[in-house]
Amino acid sequence: MTSLWENREVPMRRVDREIMWGNTKKSGIHTTHPKHFGENFRGTDWHWYDVNDCWCFADEWLGKPVKVDVYGAGDEAKFVLNGKSLGRKPIEKLMASMDIPYEPGILEGVVYKDGAKISRSTLVTPKEAVVLELVPEEESFVADGKDLSYVRVTLKDADGNRLTQDEREMQVETDGVGTFLAVGSGNPCTEDQITDTKCHLYRGTAIVILKSKEAGETKITVKADGVAAGSCVVEAK
């Protein structure tokens, strides 16, 4: 089976892992919510302070400092906000950090090694949400009642940017041979039930899971208030 996600942008968490293992020259960029700025992190070697691939905060945080981390296998990183260079920081243990006053727009981290640029990572402040995009992980799945079909739901603006702070409720509908199994967002603090057809988005995304004992197609439609519904078709073989 061919994964439809293979040619799409690699998830930020996966990029960070590949950087750590030396398997990629790509870079990653994360931020810590400004409400946590200046807090002393306390944890064990198995913990990490809360970071997200997000450059979208409420107006009350305009001009307030945000801790920005750039991950990469280089020796220094340049921080750029709305086309203006904010300077460079050395990369130590695969990470460089800078405190940047929040200003909506485009935040970039450019990684250099031996003076040459090797990668660039970007965060964009999204505009108003307009549509739910549905993308199946695989083109098809096995119609044995055991194999699963995973469909990612993402709330996007007109430019295709994910609404990274949106947690509105969505409703799943299916039509076809497949059976709805579960829906979840990955939110560690939620009262949503995975077997319910309703779910709140978490950081603008969720996953719908199906299975089927019969060969054929199933159409999945996801709706939410204020935006266009999204749909896709998966096939059980």
d(C-alpha 5, C-alpha 135), whole Å: 8
**φ, ψ of residue 223 in degrees (nearest 5):** -120, 150
Q: 12-124 falls under which CATH superfamily? A: Immunoglobulins (2.60.40.10)
Report helix, strand and coil shares of the chain as percent, to nearest 5: 5, 50, 45
142-185 pLDDT tens trace: 999 999 999 999 999 999 999 999 999 999 999 999 999 999 99
Q: Do the domains at 12-124 and 129-236 have one common CATH topology?
A: yes
- On whether the CB atoms of residues 89 and 97 are closer than 8 A, the answer is yes
**Boundaries of every domain in the chain:** 12-124, 129-236
pTM listed for this prediction? 0.86
SS3 label, residue 80: strand
Helices and strands, counts by H and E, the chain: 1, 16
d(C-alpha 122, C-alpha 30), whole Å: 9
175-226 pLDDT tens trace: 999 999 999 999 999 999 999 999 999 999 999 999 999 999 999 999 999 9
The class level of CATH for 129-236 reads: mainly beta
